[in-house]
Chain A
């Protein structure tokens, strides 16, 4: 076929055979520079913006964690799940119970272990993961919409438990979430009182940094997974289970593991949600929350980590912003629509537009603006060094619609 022949000795080659040089020397410094710049802005933000934006930012960070987790399951692996709200609830309730103090009065007597919040957070993540793992055998047998409907049951079970298990969940009225703290440093308004450049760093400022760290960690972990062995296995089993298993992928095993990972993400998102609101209540973890998370990843772009981030910011921040600026936006507030409703109308319209015109979602739009060719999985396509002219080759910037393959 060619002058090169194939021999059976693997590994006996000069390393780096055929590996691409970093694409485009001229712009290789631009990306890291922009990332560093963005990070600096994020870090400095609490010095300049008011509390509302920081609180919105933390809520968005929680949504980012949850959306990345759901996207690993739905977008990357093709397992439709409507149970995300349930796993968030498991995380949130575990945190509140493990780290909360016993108390309450009369009928609503509350239990609580009073352990350090970091323990509560870890237990929340682990229990949510365990719940996902217990559900995963069902996921191995059902596909597509059937799995979605089955997972729906978890949401209703969750609501029922939240309403009735008063000692743990606070019942119908819910219960407040303990402040987060780490090694004696409280993410609250005092204890210790903190000033940075004469700006008081109170709960909102401190939570902002917590959200930043957690969201960044969740982001990097997911991206690394997608770019390596497990990520390739998951994407292949989404596209063809038969092909994946014939190539050596234990399909059932991977489905179980991604359910575990995804629900651990949801558990962390649940803990962050409880911290963001300051309390938990049954009605927060209904079907609507699952739908909102699905909206995030569809809007952002299925299978793309960047897309999950963009979609989460859009969906979680928009109602808050509408609420705050209701008097400035036409038709919202006063005699018009409520802020939440207005935001929902906008999501609906945005989802229809995205599905019609840009199945790769917000991530696809962002890539177009950045002028990059990218595959739907969210990774930049590296160009081999010998093809510097971008116009001469078929542009992969219009990959086949990702949504249609799931």
Chain B
């Protein structure tokens, strides 16, 4: 098992994520079959694979949107595969969506405040009557939201409606909103899809800083192989709903199964060249933003 980076201070309250033999079926189609892997506390764990490999399905299982037909997902004492999505958020699992799922009409601050939902209590009566505790709660959490926005370079856009922001900014609001839930496990679904090189670089640095500053686990679905290989402590490779490899970035890059999945067939190709070709091919040929 790979250890987190040397400068990382893993929080003691972060359990590993144990994915055990998870299968998901849509009718006759098996989107995932008996996938297992472990996300060690405080690591950046990437899930990669060609289009249709089941990466997003895996994310939907982790966040409770899809039910696993078989197998289980453990997060400490919690069985994520048996919990409703909003309860999963309550135990510290946050997700940033690939296709941006923000409220376009609301401001950045309001979108981020939604991340504080499970940390705050104000109901209809307290909010409608502006009871002091509701107002105080809003102020307190507003300060933390502003801080997280500042961290993701959104500080000057807090009061701009999300709908008028650039694509890159909206992607960062997605990540910021997930961070606002104060997660113990952060699920990032293609955080740099469609971003340019500069934005990608900054996002990669932000992810490293999130891990270093908060000591939380990060699970990453990403097509940008360069980013995956430089960021991830561990990589799980899916193809046609099956796990075909699991290991450190260097290990999976050499894995003949992985090479075959990305290049079709690797019979006469030198493995190291093929791995490079696979990395290059995967990062350039995938259409950003396409559902996988």
Contact = CB atoms under 8 A, between A and B. Distances in A.
Interface stretch (A154-162, A172-180, A244-252): A244-252
Interface residues of A, number: 60
Interface string A377-400: 100011110110000001010011
Given A8-B213, A246-B65, A383-B159, A229 B138 contact: yes
Interface string A220-235: 0110110111111101
B214 interface: yes
Interface stretch (B149-157, B227-235, B269-277): B149-157
Nearest to B91: A248
Contacts of A233: 114, 117
A169 B130 CA distance: 38
Given A230-B127, A249-B114, A399-B163, A11 B144 contact: yes
A358 interface: no
Given A232-B110, A247-B177, A10 B144 contact: yes
B106 A18 contact: no
A246 B158 CA distance: 22
A384 B101 contact: no
Interface in B114-172: 114-118, 120-124, 127-130, 134, 137-140, 142-144, 146-153, 155-156, 158-161, 163-164
B135 to A, nearest CB: 8
Task: With a 10 A CB-CB cut-off, give which of B128, B156, B182, B210 has the most chain A CB atoms.
Answer: B128
Nearest to A9: B144
B205 interface: yes
Task: With a 10 A CB-CB cut-off, give which of B111, B113, B161, B203 has the most chain A CB atoms.
Answer: B161
Nearest to A15: B143
A240 interface: yes
A18 B149 contact: yes
A239 B101 CA distance: 8
Interface in A175-234: 221-222, 224-225, 227-233
Nearest to B153: A2
A405 B105 contact: yes
Interface stretch (B15-23, B31-39, B82-90, B257-265): B82-90
A375 B106 contact: yes
Contacts of A251: 86
A236 B113 CA distance: 11
Nearest to B205: A1
A249 B117 contact: yes
Contacts of A396: 160-161, 164
A228 B147 contact: no
A243 interface: yes
A229 B202 contact: no
B7 to A, nearest CB: 12
Given A1-B209, A8-B215, A232 B113 contact: yes
Interface in B44-89: 63-65, 84-86, 88-89
Given A228-B127, A248-B86, A381-B160, A4 B105 contact: no
B86 A6 contact: no
A384 B107 CA distance: 12
A224 B130 contact: yes
B25 interface: no
A251 B117 CA distance: 12
A6 B214 contact: yes
A18 B143 contact: yes
Interface string A150-171: 0000000000000000000000
B240 interface: no
Contact of B117 (A238, A248, A375): A248
A15 B142 CA distance: 9
B253 interface: no
A384 B164 contact: no
Nearest to A227: B127
A384 B158 contact: yes
B161 A375 contact: yes
Task: With a 10 A CB-CB cut-off, give which of B102, B107, B143 has the most chain A CB atoms.
Answer: B143
B164 A246 contact: no
A91 interface: no
A144 interface: no
A265 to B, nearest CB: 11
Task: With a 10 A CB-CB cut-off, give which of A18, A257, A386 has the most chain B CB atoms.
Answer: A18
Contact of B210 (A2, A6, A11, A224): A6
B195 interface: no
B211 to A, nearest CB: 10
Contacts of A243: 97, 101-102
A233 to B, nearest CB: 6
Contacts of A244: 114
Given A17-B143, A225-B127, A225-B128, A4 B158 contact: no
Contacts of A17: 143, 146-147, 150
B11 A13 contact: no
A106 interface: no
Contact of B106 (A221, A242, A377, A387): A377
Given A232-B113, A239-B103, A384-B159, 12 more contacts: A2-B151, A6-B148, A8-B214, A13-B144, A18-B149, A224-B128, A225-B128, A235-B106, A235-B110, A247-B181, A257-B124, A375-B161
10 contacts: A8-B213, A8-B214, A15-B140, A229-B127, A229-B138, A235-B103, A247-B177, A261-B124, A384-B159, A394-B164
